[in-house]
Amino acid sequence: LLLVEAISRDLNDQLLKVLGNRRLMYAEYEDFERLMSSAEEVFYTWDECMKDFTNVARDIARKRSEKRSEKFTRIQITPAHAKLHERVSFVKNFRKQHEQLHQTIVKVMTQPKGVTKIIVENDTNSVQQQEEESVSMSDIDSIEEVKQAFESLKDINILDVSPEGTEIWTDAENAYNERVSRVESQIITRLRDRLGTCKNANEMFRVFSKFNALFVRPKIRGAIQEYQTQLIDSVKDDIQKLHNKFKLQYRRAEAFHMAQLRDLPVVSGAMIWARQIERQLQTYMNRVEDVLGKGWENYAEGEKLQTESNNFRKKLDTKPIYDAWIKDINGRDLSVSGKLFEITKNRAANNQLQLDVNFNPQIITLFKEVRNLLWLNYHVPHAVSNVAKDAKRVYPFAVSLMETVRTYRQTIDK
């Protein structure tokens, strides 16, 4: 055991030499992260070897105590590098959080913001201009403040785990947190000002989408919670309206009548309608992320919305519609074959015989359905696709013949 403890002390000394010469807080973040990962790998290897050693030592000690009829002594080793391991893990996480904060603030504060200005000329004409708003001084101050907060940590020996070194690090960390807290307060003030001037929910969503990367900060999240609740309720209402729209079913929806005007068949029209609803649902769920930030599904409110959204998506699945259509088509004898003309009875004219073109209108519907389903990336069976191709090929001739026969009948009637 003394040997193991000596090895641990030597490991601690060697790590201090290797890491201490690198000036960790001055290193670029990628280099810092690589060094920390290497150190963590060393610590992990030690822990794994210690497990094996402890098991072997425990078995030997147990056998020895049984042989000598002595009380079993528990084996416990306190590595000399334990505090260094703890400090390395803490600093690694600390700098990761700082890097995330800095990058997020830079991203949020420096992205261009489109501004529309209305210039009135002679009280009659107005000119609308688009310009890009430049980054404000307060944005630059926030970025610089976070940068300077980290600068104050660079000259500290972060690997000094002595009581004095720990106290120095704690004081520096508190000073850093105070400066970051001031930046967060500035961001909160600006965010609340923006939200306060919004005239409707859509404008609020745009503000949230700009700042949502900062919502991982508890202080910022807590400050705008009232607005979050308001907007989440708005999203819930929108999703409920979408659900009610779906409950009407396609044939009773306004989209069905529009599809008829556009010569869109029933099956593919229903699929397009369902996909439109699904896209709208995804837009609403993206708004939830704008409001709550990434990882929104881990919050209680977000988890509930996620469950409701998934259940709704299952109802919007178009595969059952497609499968039912394939089954229906396979059950029909649709083909482009036989004689060109046929003699039928006209019930409206006391069952008088009349000349018609031998062409099933359902064949044309089949062709349109297949065309639209292929556009929707559905795999149409080869046999059905061939019938649709034949229908497309003869359709112009069939229409021409139908028009000729109609003219012929009108001439006979006169």
**C-alpha dist (Å) from residue 169 to 24, 37, 91, 160, 173:** 14, 21, 10, 9, 6
Taking phi first (over 0 means left), then psi (-120 to 50 degrees means alpha), and beta for anything else, what does residue 353 get? beta
Residue 174, in any domain of the structure: no
Greater confidence, 83 or 293? 83
Task: Read off the pLDDT of residues 317-328 as tens digits, 9 standing for 90 and up.
Answer: 888 888 898 888
Give the tokens for residue 154: 């660079």
Containing domain of residue 382, as a range?
A: 329-413
Residue 372, in any domain of the structure: yes
State the Cα–Cα distance between residues 278 and 257, nearest whole angstrom.
20
Residue 342, in any domain of the structure: yes
Task: Read off the pLDDT of residues 145-177 as tens digits, 9 standing for 90 and up.
Answer: 888 889 888 888 888 889 998 999 999 999 999
Residue 334, in any domain of the structure: yes
Q: What is the pLDDT of residue 133?
A: 41
Residue 367, in any domain of the structure: yes
Could you tell me which residues come within 8 angstroms of residue 342 by beta carbon, excluding any fewer than 6 positions away? 356, 357, 358
pLDDT (average), residues 49-78: 74
Residue 340, in any domain of the structure: yes
Residue 371, in any domain of the structure: yes
Residue 134, in any domain of the structure: no
Q: Which amino acid is at 377?
A: N
Counting the structural domains of the chain, the total is 1
